[in-house]
Structure 1
């Protein structure tokens, strides 16, 4: 029996079989021991593992939530734990009232805008563009608000930390929705 080497692939009207994916080649070759193998068996059918494309997209969004959001707010949570372990009674509003959550928000919004703008989303183009625009606006606004708050703290101005905390939570909540929606659209479009 003759072996078919990938480098000696036969030409076809579409090109050589080496130019096509393994599933399109569908060639049978013989290994050195005489056993036949089908090159199409090397491809993996995504439905074999039992996960639908939508479930796969949801899984990727959950990864975004964990690695993008949870790790982004980790320094704030770590600061809270350190203050508690030292016995310092720092309240929630004092914790987020200096604007650090605004930095996280700006980063999440900018990353989401970049992600959705670099992916082709033909079936959801309007939605993708609106989300990208919204995320860019949020990133700019939160950066400006943080710069104002930071400047006020540095110059010794009286800053209402409760108001800053409420603004931070609102911006973060809106960004969580827009950035999460952006991540979902990008993953669904890739199906």
Structure 2
């Protein structure tokens, strides 16, 4: 009597994260995705300050500019995540992050469209609400972008 044995399944190695690669990735993330993205907002604030105008956050961010920055930051992260593929152990994580990112892009884009299409000057807009919403959406986008950057590097 012969017995057939099934071929031994090779276990997939545990997820690996090279600390040096991640540190370099995070440095690039901070420099190119975050700092360069918010640089125009800093220049707008500095320009208003040099002209002795009201330089509060409301005047700088009252038309939803930070929402656009959030969309740009998360879009780059989603592109990076997608370019690393979805067919590995962290597929569920990547798909979840991708779905949350798409939702965040849609929400921020819709919110911006609501502010940008209002007629008239900034006085027609509830500046405080725009700034508060922007300060919720932008850090959320930055955090999600950071998580995407790290997850994309897991091998």
Report the TM-score when normalising by structure 2: 0.81
Distance in structure 1 (CA, Å) of the matches to 2:66 and 2:143: 15
Q: What value does the CA root-mean-square deviation take over the aligned residues?
A: 1.7
Counterpart of 1:38?
Answer: none
Gapped regions of structure 1 (runs ≥ 5):
1-51
Pairwise CA distance, 1:65: 1.2
Does residue 19 of structure 2 align to residue 57 of structure 1? no
Pairwise CA distance, 1:89: 2.2
Counterpart of 2:46?
Answer: 81
Counterpart of 1:118?
Answer: 83
Counterpart of 2:101?
Answer: 135
Structure 1 residue runs of 4 or more that deviate by more than 3 Å after TM superposition: none
Aligned pair partner of 1:90 in 55, 79, 82: 55
Question: Looking at CA atoms only, which structure, 1 or 2, has the larger radius of gyration?
Answer: 1
Secondary structure of the residue aligned to 2:89 is: helix
CA-to-partner distance for each residue in 1:34-53, whole Å, 9 max, x for gaps?
A: xxxxxxxxxxxxxxxxxx92
Aligned pair partner of 2:145 in 131, 156, 179: 179
Pairwise CA distance, 1:57: 1.1
CA-to-partner distance for each residue in 1:123-156, whole Å, 9 max, x for gaps?
A: 211111111111111111111110110111x356
Paired residues, what number? Answer: 137
Gapped regions of structure 2 (runs ≥ 5):
1-16
Report the TM-score when normalising by structure 1: 0.67
Counterpart of 1:71?
Answer: 36
Secondary structure of the residue aligned to 1:123 is: coil
